[in-house]
Structure formats: structure tokens, C-alpha cells
Structure 1
Amino acid sequence: MGPWDGARRVAVAVSGGADSLALALLARGWGDPIAFVVDHGLRGESASEAAWVREVLGARGIPTTILRLTDLAPGPGIAARARAARYAALSAACRHAGLVDLLVGHHAGDQAETVLMRRRRSSGPDGLAGMAACVETDDIRLLRPLLAIDPAPLRNFVTAAGLVPVDDPTNTDQRQTRARLRREIGTDRAELLAEAARCGANRAESGQAIALELAARASIHPERFAILSPGPLHSQTLASLLRSLAGRGFPVAHIDAWAANPRPGTVAGVQILPAGKLGPGWLLVREAAAIQAPANATPGTVWDGRYRVTSAPTGAAIGSLGRDSAAFRRQSALPAAVLNALPTFRYNSVLSAVPDLDYGGPMLSQNRGVIRHAGLPAAGASFLPC
């Protein structure tokens, strides 16, 4: 695991199963982890199991926090809903604790099941690469250091430590897709893992090529717009740029024609315009018509998929500059399309702060994210780009 700065703490997601317990104990051997246990509340034993995990890890010097979910109900799609809720809770806990790295205990058996599942869904090469060892999200870096390890030695390691792991009955419930796949894989595991390794190497090579093309062709500005040099580019490079500017985490489809021949228009919530006075090539900026409506600026609010409110006084709202951009066009060199999409704070419907334009008071010259203005209460407001 690592290398890490010895002073940096990491988080570990622990369910109480053998794999995640092994990961927590291994992490304790080289670092200073914090454990998070998500209690879905879907089984009667879940609360006591979470408490047991906190007790045994605490006895081994690993501080542990239980994250209880209260809004999950059994029914259709429960596995997907529980997974989404689990990662949302873990991300929020990491953000609150100031932690970037979250370790999860997926192992070689989980990887083989993932590849087989995606093969049967006719996934492309990227899907057949399975789970990645490192995935960066808006909040955290999700790390899977056990992907190459079989589950049996992990269980043995936990048993040797004197622990009896929790065995979730859904892991053997044949009504569950993964439980059925686990029974079917048998001796095919090695072949599935080899396919994941081949496709994973290709995916990593493709990712590097995209990064190099972005570095050579795109200039990304802090006001959340980009200048793209003239000429065709790889469709995945354009897709990466569009996802960043639009604040969308999902793939962008049907853009091959745009990548082969960039031209004025709107695609995936992003405007493509001639760069004009900003230089040769294309200006890419969030499409005004697709921007989210103003929202209450309560701490934790993610607005338009692009900005998260970190603090705000009661009654403040976050939204786009929109029609108020006309007042700033003479003093700003930014194009109108960029000005329109800038995030703003309003209080009692009055424009109070535009951090990217240093509008809102003297405090902004010292800290662009903190708002102090006569229109806002003294508590101020702030946001961070996602």
C-alpha cells in the first residue's frame, strides 16, 4: 500500500466482513487509519454488527465511526440504492474529517464477478477492465489495494488475528446476482482476472493518451471555461472536457462527429463557440439554458454539479450571474457566455457576491471563496469548485 506521506491519515470502509477487516488491520500496520462503518439498517443484526466492528477495531487502536442510514427501504433496486447511499455517506464522512483517500476491500473474487457480469451485459473493453485500483471522484480518491488478492488468505489473516468476521447472508442468497455469479465462476476466475488485466492496461494507456491530448490542446480556466485549439481530437478527450465543464459524472454519448469536426453549437450542456479575442480555436463554457435554477445556499449544497457551498448565512441563494452579467461586461475581459455562467450569491434576491469577479467586498482580495458584503449578514458565505 502506498507510498503515502507518513503524516497523512486515510479512511477505511469496514463492513465487518473478512475482506474489509483484513484491510483495516493491514492499514493499521503501515499507517494511521480511521474506519467508517455504514449501517444500512436493512437487517435486524446490522446495528449490533456495526457496534462490534467499532469495538474490535477500537481495541486495536483504529478509531471507528458508525454511519447510520435511515431512509433506505427494501424493494426493487435495493442493492443499487444501498450502494449509492453507502458511498454518499462515506464521501460525506471523509469530507467532514478532511480525508482524501478512502480504502475499500474489493478483492480478486469481486473483480472476477464484476468482469463476468459485464461480459454478460456485452460491455466494451473499458467495462471488461473491471474495477480500477484508483478512482478519483469530486470528493475523494477511492482506492482498492486488495484487487489482486484472493479472499481465502484475507479470511485466514483475520482468523489469525483472533477475529470472527461478519458473514452477510445476502452474500450467499441465490436471488442476488453476485451470489449466483460467485457460484458459477469456479475455475474461470484466473481467465476473468487475466481479461481484466489486459483490458485494464489498455484503459490506462488510453487514459494517459487523453491526459496528454488535454494538456496539449486545452487551456482550462478557473472561471470554469476552456479554450480548445483548432482541429479534430479524440472523442474521449472531448468527453472528459465536457464532463468537467458541465459538472456531470456520467459518460457523454454521440460526440464522435463533434470531436472529428469541432464547430459552434451545444453538446452535453456545454456551448462551443469561436474563441474570438481569447485566441484561435474554440471557447467551451457551461450552456446558460442548462444551468440549474438558484438554490438555497445551505452548507453542503452542490449547485449545478459544479460548486459546493461550504458556508452561507440563512436566506442566501446560489445561482448563475445570468442577466446581471451586463453590469460587469465593461470591466471584465471575460466573454458574455462565461460571465452568464459564473456562480453568484444573492441575499433577499439582491446580487451580493460574484467571487470570480472579486465583487462582494475587500475580503475577496484575500480569499476568493469567502464572501463579505453589505448585502449579506456578517457570517458570510463561501463555495468550492467541485
Structure 2
Amino acid sequence: MARPVDFGALTAGFGPPPPVVAAGVSGGPHSLALAVLARDWAARAGIRFLALIVDHGLRPESAAEAAHVRAMLAGQGIAARVLTLALAPGPAMQERAREGRLAALLAACLEEGAAWLMLGHHRLDQAETLLFRAARGSGEAGLAAMPGWRAAPEALVLRPLLGTPPAALEDVCTRAGLPPVRDPSNDNPRFARIRTRAALADPDGEGAVVGALAQAAHALGRRRARRDAALADRAARAVTLLPCGAARVDAAALDAPLLAALLRVVGGARHAPARAEVEALLARGQGTLGGAWWRADGWVLREPSLLEALVPARAGAVWDGRWHLEQDMPGCMLGAAGAGLDGPWPAAVRKGLPALWKDGRLYAVPHIGLGPPVPGLTFRPAGGPLTAVFGVSLELGIHPGQIRPMLGSTSALLPTKE
């Protein structure tokens, strides 16, 4: 029989829990076990726990399955909410489903006030990830596999079960009397990850090979964390990221990793540009890359020619992939402020500021105090804030609770220099 899971010990490194915690629950054995473990842990801590079930809508029976999972959880005294996706058919379905699922989970966390989102990835998942990325030629950062936690603008994403074999989680479900829902796509060899899992031939995740791979991922993760911590220290001394989404950087302290991170945040891209491209830009001393423009005067700003067109200023609107609007502004459009504005920053920065337009006229530019305030307009680039770029490790003595106040803040996405 598998060793019991000590969930309190697994979450201890994350620091004091917030008042509300959520978990993604698919109905599979591992996420169901996470829900049961988190329910008991939350009850002891005196906090609210919520299970979030995503219906991808990819199979005719998916809605019924989601309702069934919700009913099962209700029988365990676990509050749950079903989130429905509307994914279009097409290629890269697993990747798009994964991205859509995480986006829906994080949006629900924001709505529910849940500062932590727990996911049920376990030791076999970690081993598979390392092997899968190695086969694709990933570098050291990719081979570090999944981190135990990372920050997103909406909530901290935690993986407390990364060191736990799936057999132990199956045992949790058995003890709770919960029959898992098995997704047939998890056995479809058409997907590369499923073929990787089959090659490991260790469904319980307790064998020597899986253990060695998971250990290697952990060791590489610690190396990545130390490197990221050093990068964050340089950023604290060299960079100021302004609430308007542009940055100032001291060129004397700039190197390729720091410039790559700045380009990703300011440009709003999900991933940083390739290192070789960043090094070439650094050698030139200025230029555009990854949707951002690094100027010789030290400014890093959104590339003006790539700014998106106006969009209706409705609740949930996203403009330019970076600016999110949380409430309706009737009769308005959200887009770039354009030329002709006075203000404290260079004209190119002012031109790209998020603004509201009404009846063809500029109505509000909140970052320079023009017009009425625009509640709920936040800078949330696709790749996340600083804490998503420079993930300081638990081993270095910093836990997620210490960075929670930074999340969602447009003025604290990067440490500022005095």
C-alpha cells in the first residue's frame, strides 16, 4: 500500500495560507486526491477551499462528466464550480486546451478572491516533462521542468504534489470512495506526451527511472532558481518598470537574460525571445524585438507599429495583449492614446498609453491624469509579472506569501530603483 500523503508538510514551504484557496479538479484520480487532501488541510487551517472544474467541451459527454464530478465533490463536502470553455477545433488541441484551462482557472480565482491555485501535477508528470523536453532539445531551463510554484497576475499557481507518486494519490481516492473519471485522451498514443508516458512504463510513478528523472528536474530547478534570483537582484538595481507598462534600464548593468525578461514583460509576449536574438540586439545597442523597442536612451517600450486597434471598452476586454479592463465603460473604445499629448515620458511612450475614446475623441488617459479615472484597468502581460520571470526559489528562503502583494500591481511588476 502507498505511503499516506502528508499534505500539511507538502504545503508548509508556501507560507501562511490566504483566506481562500482553489484547486483545479478534472475528475481524474490525481486532482480528485488533491481536492480531498486540500479539503482536510483547509478545514484545519480555517480557510475556504473551492474546487474548480473545467469543461473543455471537446466531447459530447464532457458537460455531463463535469456535473458528475461536481456532484461527487459535493458528496465529500467540497464546494465546486464548473467553468465552460469554447475551444475551436484545429491543430495543437492539447496545448490550446491546457492554455485555455489555466486561463479559465486563474480568471475564476480572481473572481472568487482565491490567492492560491493548486494543481495536481505529481512525480510521474514531472519525470515525463523532463523526458519530453529533452527529446525536443530543450536547454537547461526547460529541463528544470515544472516549478513548485509560480506567480500569475491573478493568483499564485502551486504544485504541492510534484514529489508524490501517482500511486499514493490513487490510494487517497480509494480511501475516500471516489471513483475517478478517466479521460480517454490520456491513453491516446497520437499525443507525444502519452507516448513518453508509455515509454517510462511506470504508471505508479514509484520506479527508479521516474525517481531519478524527478530528482534531476528538482536539482535543475534549484539551479534555475539561483540563477533567477541573481537576475532579480540585478533587475532591482538596474530597472524601473512604470505603471504605464514601459521601463527604464541602466545599460551598464544590462545583460542578455535581463534584457530578454524586459522585452517579454514590456512587449506582452508569453515567452522571451531566443537568447541569440537578444544577444544580437544587445550588441547593436538598440532596436526592436519580441514586440518591444529598446532605445539608446535606456527606455524599453511597446513597439509602436505593433500596437493593436481600438476594442470596445467592455468588462473583460483585453487590448494589445497587455491591458485588461474589468468593468464596462459605456460608449467607449479602448486603445492607444496617440500623438499630441503632454506628459512626463517620451512622446513614443505617451503615444502608446492605454486610453479611452468616446465619439471619436480622446476621453481618458489615466496614466497622465487626463479625463476621469478608469477603474480596473491593469497591466497584465501574457507572460505574467516579474515574479513569473524571476521565480525565487523556496530553497532560497522566500515563500509565495512574501510576493503576494506584488500580484496585479502595475507599479510593482519589477523592483524599482530609487
After TM superposition, the score normalised by the length of structure 1 is: 0.86
SS of residue in 1 equivalent to 2:240: strand
Given the superposition, is the C-alpha separation of residues 269 and 170 from structure 1 closer, same or farther in structure 2, using an over 3 Å criterion? closer
- Equivalent positions of 1:1-386 (< 5 A) are 1-2=11-12, 3=14, 5=16, 8-31=19-42, 32-73=48-89, 76-186=91-201, 187-231=208-252, 233-253=254-274, 254-259=277-282, 261=283, 263-275=285-297, 282-325=298-341, 328=342, 332-361=343-372, 364=373, 369-370=374-375, 382-386=376-380
SS of residue in 1 equivalent to 2:295: strand
SS of residue in 2 equivalent to 1:195: helix
The Cα of 1:143 is off from its aligned counterpart by 1.2
The Cα of 1:6 is off from its aligned counterpart by 5.0
1:76, 1:109 → 2: CA distance? 26
SS of residue in 1 equivalent to 2:117: strand
For the pair shown, the structure with the greater C-alpha radius of gyration is 1
Give 2:392's aligned residue: none
| 8 A Cα contact 2:268 2:322, kept in partner | yes
| 8 A Cα contact 1:345 1:352, kept in partner | yes
2:56, 2:186 → 1: CA distance? 15
1:343, 1:135 → 2: CA distance? 27
Give 1:375's aligned residue: none
Q: Deviations over 1:24-43 (max 9, x none)?
A: 11111222211111112333
Partner amino acid for 1:15? S
| 8 A Cα contact 1:40 1:72, kept in partner | no
Partner amino acid for 2:288? T
Q: For the aligned residues, what is the CA RMSD?
A: 2.0
Given the superposition, is the C-alpha separation of residues 348 and 33 from structure 1 closer, same or farther in structure 2, using an over 3 Å criterion? same
Partner amino acid for 1:16? G
After TM superposition, the score normalised by the length of structure 2 is: 0.80
Q: Whose RCO is larger (CA < 8 A, sep 6+)? A: 2
1:341, 1:69 → 2: CA distance? 32
The answer for unaligned runs of 5 or more in structure 1 is 276-281, 371-381
The Cα of 1:5 is off from its aligned counterpart by 4.2
Partner amino acid for 2:321? G
1:106, 1:174 → 2: CA distance? 20
2:328, 2:187 → 1: CA distance? 47
- The percentage of counterpart residues that share the same residue type is 37
1:62, 1:28 → 2: CA distance? 7
1:161, 1:173 → 2: CA distance? 28
| 8 A Cα contact 2:269 2:291, kept in partner | no
Q: Which moved more, 1:171-180 or 1:245-254?
A: 171-180
Paired residues, number: 356
SS of residue in 2 equivalent to 1:231: helix
Q: Deviations over 1:68-120 (max 9, x none)?
A: 234444x5432222222222222222222232321110100111111111111
1:338, 1:92 → 2: CA distance? 29
1:246, 1:152 → 2: CA distance? 43
1:208, 1:50 → 2: CA distance? 40
Given the superposition, is the C-alpha separation of residues 224 and 295 from structure 1 closer, same or farther in structure 2, using an over 3 Å criterion? same
The answer for unaligned runs of 5 or more in structure 2 is 1-10, 43-47, 202-207, 381-418
1:171, 1:267 → 2: CA distance? 38
2:214, 2:21 → 1: CA distance? 27
2:52, 2:114 → 1: CA distance? 12
Partner amino acid for 2:81? T
